[in-house]
């Protein structure tokens, strides 16, 4: 976050108001306030502010020949680190009492990465399709601090190197604008191929902070412009529009990210510091505590999710109030004290780093939980690598890092003469059914062909990453076209809740079914399965501890609404299996029916297929 929030003689009330607007957007988006679908763009506003402030500080000191790289780093550290240490130290204690040991170990690893300002790298490295949902990572939000810190490390060195070119303002503006545009284009391109890299990694995000440098040089050009207030007002209004009209299905950062970034540049460059509403007490107060509020709001949300607190109007208000209180306490006790003694800060940093490195070696909090609960809570961590998982996610499952070249066509799409051949197409939710369907079909003399690709929508329209379009184009345009007469039916399935807007899904599915009908193929859509907001084994462990059925508290409500919409709009094409889980959720082997927040184990898949098979026969798919 942009962090210099203490009033000075030339204090920019308009920038503090931008901080207020940014943190409000981020907080309301994270707390799932329905109308604020694009509040995540508040982070981009923060990035631009940081770029502006750092450019102003560095360039002004270089002009006066008083810039010191070490002093610059020290000031940034003294400003950022204390509040972050306060948060992490508090969470080390809080999470000890509420997290199961494996979850606590995971938290501690992220704590170390946050302290070292490399959490964005760790998050990127763990962006496996089956990684725990981001909603369960209590330090997820520290990725942006790491990106900013990496900017602080590199940017001043670049400005020192190019200092002689930056003495002329027009030239400096042209260089920064060109660099911003170049990195922006690269970022948009990278998002197409590696979305998680463009989101988490500094090189892809640098253009947003460079845009802040552009704002610094534009500011001088607009100083005599008579309608600066109008420009600033337009900028604020555009940012607000982003909050209401953007949504998390957009590629981000992507082509549309230029909108809030450009709007923020407009506000900063306009320097309309005398607009009275911007100086209002609540606006300035929120701007001042924005860093601490950013640090604390996400842990409040994650802990609520971990404990199964439902997202309602009342709970949103409580979470907002609690975040404000904790953010203000952090600001009052840590930020506003303006700690000068570097020795204290660096010693505390080192001590906390050592503690978070040592604690994972000893499961001190394990004795607080029942043995059965501990076994269940660790299930998500250990399911992959087991024979059960290998049965489901085999050679016919194209992982996120793979392409069509890695797909074993001979094994997965072989046509067996003398038997009915049914084709299963989908994402990982097709893969988790695959072994159970094969076993069930074997008794009916049916052979299952399979194409499952992680994160890909099983429709004919090019959709998602290039690898997805390539795989689905091969299946529909090549394989089905060539082997339609040898296939008896096609089953398509996916985690539909992650495949775009429901209306778009319906249109895509209908066009795909129409295409299959041209080849006289019977087809059915296996519906949305139940997803949870945290891994089901963790829920089962909490149930083991409490002796109560808690699972309904953790159901992801978006999957409920998506299932209802698809069922109502696809009619008989859609096989509703959302509530097919009328069987024990843990079997005699103590295997839960799901191994994460939405994927079945072999046990769960086999039980689901027992429910699905009669319906497939009834619909005359088999």
Report the 10 Å Cβ neighbour count for 531: 26
Q: 65-105, pLDDT tens digit by residue?
A: 899 999 999 999 989 999 999 999 999 999 999 999 999 99
The answer to whether the beta carbons of residues 449 and 383 sit under 8 Å apart is no
pLDDT band at 208 (very low <50, low <70, confident <90, very high): very high
In this model, does residue 226 exceed pLDDT 50?
yes
Instruction: Considering only the C-alpha atoms of the chain, give the largest distance between any 2 of them, rounded to a whole number of Å.
Output: 86
Average pLDDT over residues 390-410: 86
* Model confidence at 6: pLDDT above 50: no
Q: What is the pLDDT of residue 132?
A: 59
At 443 the three-state DSSP class reads: coil
Is domain 379-613 in CATH 3.30.70.1230, yes or no?
A: no
d(CA 598, CA 592): 12
Domain ranges of the chain: 20-367, 379-613
Sheet holding 489-493, edge to edge: 397-398, 446-453, 420-426, 489-493, 522-526, 574-575
pLDDT in tens, 482-538: 999 999 999 999 999 999 889 999 999 999 999 999 999 999 999 999 999 999 999
Residues 603, 589: Cα–Cα separation, whole Å: 10
| More reliable by pLDDT, 570 or 341 | 570
Position 253 confidence tier, pLDDT thresholds 50, 70, 90 = very high
Residues in the chain: 622
More confident residue, 148 or 409: 148
- At 103-147, the pLDDT tens digits run 999 999 999 999 999 999 999 988 755 555 667 899 999 999 999
**Structure confidence at residue 237 (pLDDT):** 97
Grouping H, G, I as helix, E, B as strand and the rest as coil, residue 156 is helix
CB-count exposure of residue 503 (10 Å: 0-12, 13-18, 19+): exposed
Beta partners for residue 524, in sequence order: 491
Q: pLDDT, tens digit, for every residue of 459-486?
A: 999 877 788 999 999 999 999 999 999 9
Tell me whether residue 89 is exposed, middle or buried, using C-beta atoms within 10 angstroms of its C-beta: 0 to 12, 13 to 18, 19 or more: middle
Closest residue by Cα to residue 118 from 159, 157, 160, 148? 148
Question: For residue 373, what pLDDT is reported?
Answer: 87
**Residue 36, pLDDT above cutoff 60:** yes
Q: What is the mean pLDDT of residues 420-448?
A: 94
Residue 193 burial by Cβ neighbours in a 10 Å radius (0-12, 13-18, 19+): exposed
Q: What is the mean pLDDT of the chain?
A: 90
Count of CB atoms situated within 10 Å of the CB of 390: 13
Tokens 């995540």 belong to residue: 40
Provide the Cα torsion 239, 240, 243, 246; round to 10°. -70
CA dist 459 and 176 (Å) reads 42
DSSP of 37-59, one letter per residue? Answer: TTGGGHHHHHHHHHHHHHHHHHH
What is residue 68's DSSP assignment?
-
Q: Is the pTM of this model over 0.75?
A: yes
Q: Which of these, 425, 391, 395, 424, lies nearest to 407 by C-alpha position? A: 395
**Span 433-445, mean pLDDT?**
93
If DSSP codes are grouped into helix, strand and coil, which group holds residue 31?
coil
- Region of poorest pLDDT, from 27-36, 365-374, 509-518, 566-575: 365-374
- The per-residue DSSP string of 527-567 comes to -PPP-BSS-HHHHHHHHHHH-S--GGGGB-HHHHHHHHHHH
pLDDT tens-digit series, residues 550-600: 999 999 999 999 999 999 999 988 999 998 878 999 999 899 999 999 999
């Amino acid at each position: 976050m942009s962090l210099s929030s203490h009033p000075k003689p030339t204090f920019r009330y308009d920038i503090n108001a931008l901080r207020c607007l940014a943190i409000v957007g981020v907080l309301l988006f994270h707390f799932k306030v329905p109308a604020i679908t694009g509040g995540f763009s508040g982070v981009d506003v923060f990035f631009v502010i940081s770029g502006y402030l750092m450019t102003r500080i560095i360039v002004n000191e270089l002009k006066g020949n008083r810039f010191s790289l070490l002093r610059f780093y020290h000031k940034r550290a003294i400003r950022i680190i204390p509040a972050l240490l306060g948060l992490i130290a508090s969470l080390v204690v809080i999470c000890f009492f509420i997290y199961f040991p494996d979850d606590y170990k995971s938290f501690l690893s992220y704590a170390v990465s946050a302290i070292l300002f490399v959490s964005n790298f760790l998050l990127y490295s763990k962006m496996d399709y089956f990684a725990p949902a981001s909603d369960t990572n209590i330090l997820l939000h520290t990725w942006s601090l790491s990106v900013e810190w990496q900017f602080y490390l590199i940017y001043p060195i670049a400005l020192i190197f190019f200092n002689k070119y930056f003495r002329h303002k027009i030239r400096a503006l042209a260089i920064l604008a060109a660099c911003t545009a170049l990195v922006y284009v690269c970022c948009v391109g990278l998002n197409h191929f590696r979305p998680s890299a463009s989101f988490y990694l500094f090189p892809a995000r640098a253009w947003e902070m460079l845009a802040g440098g552009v704002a610094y040089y534009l500011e001088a050009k607009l100083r005599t412009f008579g309608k600066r207030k109008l420009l600033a007002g337009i900028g604020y209004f555009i940012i607000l529009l982003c909050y209401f009209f953007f949504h998390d299905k957009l590629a981000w950062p992507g082509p549309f990210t230029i909108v809030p970034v450009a709007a923020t540049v407009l506000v900063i460059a306009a320097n309309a510091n005398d607009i009275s509403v911007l100086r209002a007490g609540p606006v300035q107060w929120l701007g001042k505590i924005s860093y601490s509020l950013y640090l604390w709001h996400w842990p409040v949300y994650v802990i609520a999710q971990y404990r199964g607190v439902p997202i309602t109007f009342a709970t949103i208000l409580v979470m907002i109030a609690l975040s404000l209180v904790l953010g203000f306490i952090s600001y009052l006790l840590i930020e506003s004290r303006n700690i000068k003694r570097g020795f204290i800060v660096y010693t505390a940093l080192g001590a906390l780093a050592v503690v978070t490195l040592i604690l994972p070696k000893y499961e001190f909090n394990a004795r607080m939980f029942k043995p059965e609960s501990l076994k269940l809570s660790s299930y998500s961590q250990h399911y992959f690598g087991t024979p059960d998982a290998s049965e489901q996610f085999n050679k016919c499952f194209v992982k996120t890092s793979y392409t069509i070249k890695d797909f074993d066509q001979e094994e997965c799409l072989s046509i067996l003469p003398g038997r009915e051949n049914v084709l299963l197409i989908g994402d990982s939710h097709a893969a988790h059914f695959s072994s159970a369907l094969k076993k069930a079909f074997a008794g009916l003399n049916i052979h299952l062909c399979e194409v499952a690709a992680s994160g890909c929508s099983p429709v004919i329209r090019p959709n998602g990453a290039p690898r997805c379009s390539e795989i689905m184009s091969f299946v529909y345009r090549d394989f089905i076209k060539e082997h339609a007469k040898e296939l008896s039916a096609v089953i398509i399935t996916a985690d539909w809740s992650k495949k775009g807007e429901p209306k778009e899904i319906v249109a895509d599915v209908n066009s795909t079914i129409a295409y299959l009908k041209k080849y006289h193929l019977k087809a059915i859509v296996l519906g949305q399965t139940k997803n949870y907001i945290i891994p089901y084994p963790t829920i089962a462990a909490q149930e083991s501890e409490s002796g109560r059925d808690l699972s309904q508290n953790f159901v992801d409500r978006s999957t409920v609404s998506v299932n209802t919409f698809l069922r109502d709009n696809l009619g008989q094409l859609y096989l509703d299996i959302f509530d097919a889980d009328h069987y024990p959720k843990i079997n005699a082997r103590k295997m839960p029916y799901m191994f994460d927040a939405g994927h079945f184990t072999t046990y769960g898949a086999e039980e689901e297929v027992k429910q699905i098979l009669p319906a497939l026969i009834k619909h005359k798919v088999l």
